Amino acid sequence: MKRDNRREFVRTALAGDRGPNVIFILSDDQGPWAAGCYGNPEIRTPNIDRLAATGLRFENFFVATPVCSPSRATLLTGRIPSQHGVHDWISGGNVGPDAIRYMEGEQAYTHVMARHGWTCGISGKWHLGDSQIPQCGFSDWYVHQSGGGDYNAAPMVRNGQLITETRYITDVITDEALAMLDRYAAAQAPFYLSVHYTAPHSPWTGHPEDVVQSYDGCAFESCPQEPRHPWAISLTDQCLGSREMLKGYFAAVTAMDTNIGRIIDALEAKGLRENTLVVFLSDNGFSCGHHGFWGKGNGTLPRNMYENSIKVPAVFSQPTAIPQNEVADAMVSAYDFMPTLLDYLGLPIPTDCSLPGGSFAPLLRGGTVDTSEPVVIYDEYGPVQMIRTEEWKYVYRHAHGPDELLDLRNDPDERENLAAEPAHQKQMRELKVAMDEWFARYVIPSRDGLREEAPEGVPGQSWLVR
């Protein structure tokens, strides 16, 4: 569909006709390896695979931070943590009189969509502060009180009230999303629906027993339990080598996948599938024994930027508009997501936010993107910064070190740190200069992650620069 046609789609939607709908399904802590369509023959994800068969699957989708809250903020705003100010998972300010709106003053893509006629709803994990009050253009709001909890006693917010859900929360999140979908299908306006699962985040207990038991005979060759990483934290000590934890993780993914199937089925039954963009992503990657640790960016101290932490599964599906059963090798980032979605819908991309990313919507339309300059990916996690090209990855750990230089072409498993090798000093200096120039272009000095020194030995501290 050509761009001018999509803009006409928006104009007719504002006039009362239905425009393109969007369902954004976001999982929590799902490794890029944890789906059948990504080549894992052990984990059962028939509905994620179903989306991939009817859409475009990205092999190289990177988050901007390998931990949940800042990653979600970047997806929502298109800005990196050193712009929006959220640098780690948010442990406080979620509910009650001291709740903090961490997205206050930020321009989210849902703001733009709501202004242009889309009804916006969210069911599931928010984890960006003040969970009792709808924000960012959302009118329907059923969210987790914080960022996680027991799967069968989940602390949620319904109509502003703090409640505890006693049913399996992955099912309940879907039930609430389907109720919103029922209302939206009966209306004339286009809709946007965020379905944010807490799966497969820990705990890896309490999942449907039949699903857990279905993995009794699994060899888990896709999750090699390697010797303990020297930087691993206590989570690894609890999980490394545990078949029960592996069964729980796999079961969490499969139970979520079943619910994703319920959403696709509902769209098809209502005749909305062809006019609805369905996006599936995770907020960050995860390792289940790979490299000898369990976790994401904060699964080690110092924090890591392994591919399994910064890459996520990513699928975009709309049968009438997006090529089906195709794979994109292009490197794209979470900071590209906001401009891409708005471009795809024919909506204006904010020009006053100093957005570091760009639209890869041409790929969704079956076209190409500009390749006159090589694509470079940048990440940050507080005092840790990363630059990644197709061939090289340089990880800079401000103050504490150690730095890492990885030759991805010859060492794709990231086993050998070349930072101390004399033959590679020039390469490392050039990457550092490019990285410094990029961050200097976008960082708001008062929110610079390099100012933030998380206590050594204490993973997952929450801090915000405002």
What pLDDT, on the 0 to 100 scale, is given for residue 399?
A: 86
Look at residue 263 and tell me if it is in a domain: yes
pLDDT exceeds cutoff 60 at 7? no
pLDDT exceeds cutoff 50 at 462? no
CATH assignment of the domain containing 212? 3.40.720.10
Q: Give mean pLDDT, residues 40-65.
A: 98
Q: What is the pTM of this model?
A: 0.94
Look at residue 138 and tell me if it is in a domain: yes
In whole angstroms, give the CA distance from residue 429 to residue 431. Answer: 5
Number of domains in the chain: 1
What pLDDT, on the 0 to 100 scale, is given for residue 332?
A: 98
Q: Give mean pLDDT, residues 355-369.
A: 95
Rounded CA Rg of the chain: 21
pLDDT per position as a tens digit, 84-137: 999 999 999 999 999 999 999 999 999 999 999 999 999 999 999 999 999 999
Look at residue 432 and tell me if it is in a domain: no
Domain that holds residue 327: 3-375
CA distances from 295 to 238, 277, 412 (A): 11, 31, 19
List, in order, residues 6 or more apart from 11 with CB less than 8 Å away. none
In whole angstroms, give the CA distance from residue 368 to residue 360. Answer: 8
Look at residue 422 and tell me if it is in a domain: no
Residue 112, classed as helix, strand or coil, is helix
- For residue 422, the Cα-to-chain-centroid distance in whole angstroms is 37
pLDDT exceeds cutoff 90 at 78? yes
Look at residue 421 and tell me if it is in a domain: no
pLDDT per position as a tens digit, 139-178: 999 999 999 899 999 999 998 999 999 999 999 999 999 9
Confidence grade of residue 254 (pLDDT, cut at 50, 70, 90): very high
Confidence grade of residue 17 (pLDDT, cut at 50, 70, 90): low
Q: Which two three-digit tokens encode residue 113?
A: 């969509």
Look at residue 367 and tell me if it is in a domain: yes
Q: What is the mean pLDDT of the chain?
A: 93
Look at residue 369 and tell me if it is in a domain: yes
pLDDT exceeds cutoff 80 at 457? no
Q: Give mean pLDDT, residues 216-240.
A: 98
What pLDDT, on the 0 to 100 scale, is given for residue 2?
A: 32
Look at residue 391 and tell me if it is in a domain: no
Dihedrals phi, psi of 252, to nearest 5 degrees: -60, -40
